């Protein structure tokens, strides 16, 4: 039996949440991401901002050039995360499995819970209505026989969209004349390679199967199938235990060669990594350091053999890796753990004799407190929440310039 899949995708999610919470923003070009005088990109923007040509992923400087009158805001991930949990509380009970692909987007397998397409369509209308009634937010929905068709459908009439693709034939008919970029998983690079062999339309892919496969290999066969509406992938509920690694990284507002500052930030990144890994019940068997230098050259170094289950051991591992790489001006630093073993639970960890004493971490934080004059270094909960890291890093850098 075929599948019935609903794809739900919130419209301009971060911006919509901010507008909902501050009605004075309504009707205005709201741009969530970096500030115009910072480094970074647009995360999400309201549809009013899109009218100026602003897009997600666009460099913030370019966005500002197009829309200087925009209202620029940093993302508040903690808030979006909370909203996301409420969204899933509405959506997930409709399905046997729910596969989130972003905070605001999920695939729902309703094959069994709906039984047939008509009921699935009713469910999808209910989902849309409840999402708006309960949370005041608008989503677009696609109902289809496969994951990629459902995703295509949810984009079809976005925003506030609703679209159904019942069969492979319907999909092929709908997509035949469209540009390959509209096919699921085709990005600019793949589109360029298809164009280099003379393919621009989705309908041109399958008749050229051999050429597509030799140009794109395995991905080529997948695309040939997709272009014919064939996609048997299942909806796989996200299981944190499947995660292969946990990492956090930070791009500095301004490149820095201040290695004391970099080491301090590594500790903060490590605290955030510890929090995330322990939320998932993971203990790292390896630690990784990623550095991007000012010339954009990136290097990654890692080591295994230890137990990296708390911020200090993760940071110490990363510091050691840092010592062995060339010292130059740095643009980005990232810290991660991998090689997970079965974790001791949080409770046992607290009583584990092998764990570095809590006060050793406190000692480091105390030193940072003095160095940067933070009030909140003592409040580890704030630091554990990695979302505020960019603001903290900037504060630290400014402080450090003054005190150096």
Toward Mg ion, which CB reaches closer, 17 or 337? 17
Q: In the complex, what is the shortest distance from the CB of residue 380 to Mg ion, in angstroms, rounded to a whole number? A: 33
Q: In the complex, what is the shortest distance from the CB of residue 191 to Mg ion, in angstroms, rounded to a whole number? A: 22
| CA dist list (Å): 388 to 152, 203, 250, 267, 367 | 34, 47, 11, 14, 20
Site for Mg ion in 11-30 (CB under 5 A): 13
Q: In the complex, what is the shortest distance from the CB of residue 10 to Mg ion, in angstroms, rounded to a whole number? A: 5
105 is catalytic: yes
Beta bridge partners of 248: 335
Site for Mg ion in 323-352 (CB under 5 A): none
Toward Mg ion, which CB reaches closer, 8 or 383? 8
State the number of binding residues for Mg ion (CB under 5 A).
4
Toward Mg ion, which CB reaches closer, 151 or 390? 151
Q: In the complex, what is the shortest distance from the CB of residue 261 to Mg ion, in angstroms, rounded to a whole number? A: 36
Q: Which helix (H) or strand (E) holds 268?
A: helix 259-279
Toward Mg ion, which CB reaches closer, 151 or 316? 151
C-beta separation of 223 from 195 below 8 A: no
CA gap 350, 361 in Å, rounded: 14
What is the torsional sign of CA 125, 126, 127, 133? Answer: positive
Residues 6 or more apart whose Cβ sits within 8 Å of residue 157:
140, 163
Q: In the complex, what is the shortest distance from the CB of residue 13 to Mg ion, in angstroms, rounded to a whole number? A: 5
Toward Mg ion, which CB reaches closer, 141 or 246? 141
> Which among 87, 194, 107 is positioned nearest to 148, based on CA atoms?
107
Mask 84-123, x = binds Mg ion (CB under 5 A)?
A: --------------------x-------------------
| Site for Mg ion contains 202 (CB under 5 A) | no
**Region from 8-16, 214-222, 306-314, 388-396 binding Mg ion, contact rule CB under 5 A:** 8-16
Q: In the complex, what is the shortest distance from the CB of residue 186 to Mg ion, in angstroms, rounded to a whole number? A: 19
Active-site hit among 48, 105, 182, 366: 105
| Site for Mg ion contains 128 (CB under 5 A) | no
- φ, ψ of residue 269 to 5 degrees: the values are -60, -40
Toward Mg ion, which CB reaches closer, 13 or 338? 13
CA gap 335, 333 in Å, rounded: 7
Place of tokens 């010339």: 295
> Which among 334, 241, 306 is positioned nearest to 279, based on CA atoms?
241
| Site for Mg ion contains 10 (CB under 5 A) | yes
Query: Of 8, 9, 67, 147, which lies in the binding site for Mg ion, with binding defined by CB under 5 A?
Result: 9
**Lookup: tokens for 398:** 């400014």
CA gap 149, 155 in Å, rounded: 10
Helix, strand, or coil (residue 164): strand
Toward Mg ion, which CB reaches closer, 144 or 269? 144
Longest CA–CA span in the chain (Å) reads 69
Q: In the complex, what is the shortest distance from the CB of residue 140 to Mg ion, in angstroms, rounded to a whole number? A: 8
| DSSP code string of 293-318 | ETTS-EEEEEEEEEEE-SHHHHHHHH
Q: What is the bridge-based pairing of β-strands 97-102 and 71-73?
A: unpaired
Q: Which helix (H) or strand (E) holds 379?
A: none
Q: What is the bridge-based pairing of β-strands 105-109 and 97-102?
A: antiparallel
Q: In the complex, what is the shortest distance from the CB of residue 184 to Mg ion, in angstroms, rounded to a whole number? A: 15
C-beta separation of 163 from 156 below 8 A: yes
Toward Mg ion, which CB reaches closer, 159 or 306? 159
Site for Mg ion in 139-158 (CB under 5 A): none
Binding region for Mg ion (CB under 5 A): 9-10, 13, 104
- Catalytic amino acids? 105
């Amino acid at each position: 039996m075929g599948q019935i899949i609903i794809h739900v995708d919130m419209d301009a999610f971060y911006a919509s949440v901010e507008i909902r919470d501050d009605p004075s923003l309504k009707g205005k070009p709201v741009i969530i991401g970096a500030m115009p005088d910072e480094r970074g990109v647009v995360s999400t923007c309201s549809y009013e901002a899109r009218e100026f040509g602003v897009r997600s992923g666009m460099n913030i400087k370019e966005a500002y050039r197009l829309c200087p009158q925009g209202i620029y805001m940093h993302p508040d991930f903690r808030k979006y995360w909370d909203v996301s949990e409420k969204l899933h509380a509405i959506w997930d009970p409709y399905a046997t499995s729910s596969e989130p692909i972003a905070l605001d987007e999920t695939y729902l397998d309703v094959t069994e819970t709906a039984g047939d397409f008509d009921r699935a369509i009713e469910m999808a209308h209910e989902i849309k209505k409840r999402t708006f009634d309960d949370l005041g937010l608008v989503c677009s929905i696609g109902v289809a026989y496969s994951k990629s068709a459902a995703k295509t459908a949810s984009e079809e009439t976005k925003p506030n969209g609703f679209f159904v693709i019942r069969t492979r034939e319907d999909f092929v008919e709908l997509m035949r004349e469209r540009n390959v970029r509209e096919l699921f998983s085709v990005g600019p690079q793949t589109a360029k390679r298809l164009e280099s062999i003379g393919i621009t339309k989705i309908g041109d892919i399958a008749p050229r199967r051999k050429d597509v496969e030799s140009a794109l290999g395995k991905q080529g066969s997948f695309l040939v199938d997709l272009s014919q509406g064939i996609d048997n992938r299942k909806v796989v509920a996200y299981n944190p235990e499947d995660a292969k690694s946990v990492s956090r990284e930070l791009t500095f507002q301004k490149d820095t060669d201040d290695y004391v500052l970099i080491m301090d930030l590594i500790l903060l990144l490590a605290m955030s990594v510890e929090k995330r890994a322990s939320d998932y019940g993971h203990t790292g068997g390896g630690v990784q350091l990623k550095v991007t230098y000012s010339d954009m050259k990136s290097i990654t170094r890692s080591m295994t053999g230890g137990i990296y289950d708390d911020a200090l051991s993760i940071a110490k591992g990363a510091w050691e890796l840092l010592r062995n790489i060339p010292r130059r001006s740095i643009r980005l630093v990232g810290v991660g753990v991998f090689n997970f073993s079965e974790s001791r639970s949080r409770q046992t960890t607290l009583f584990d004799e092998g764990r570095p004493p809590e006060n050793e971490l406190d000692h480091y934080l105390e030193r940072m407190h003095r160095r940067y004059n933070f009030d909140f270094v003592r409040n580890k909960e704030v630091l554990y929440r990695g979302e505020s890291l960019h603001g903290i890093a900037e504060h630290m850098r400014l402080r450090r310039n003054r005190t150096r």
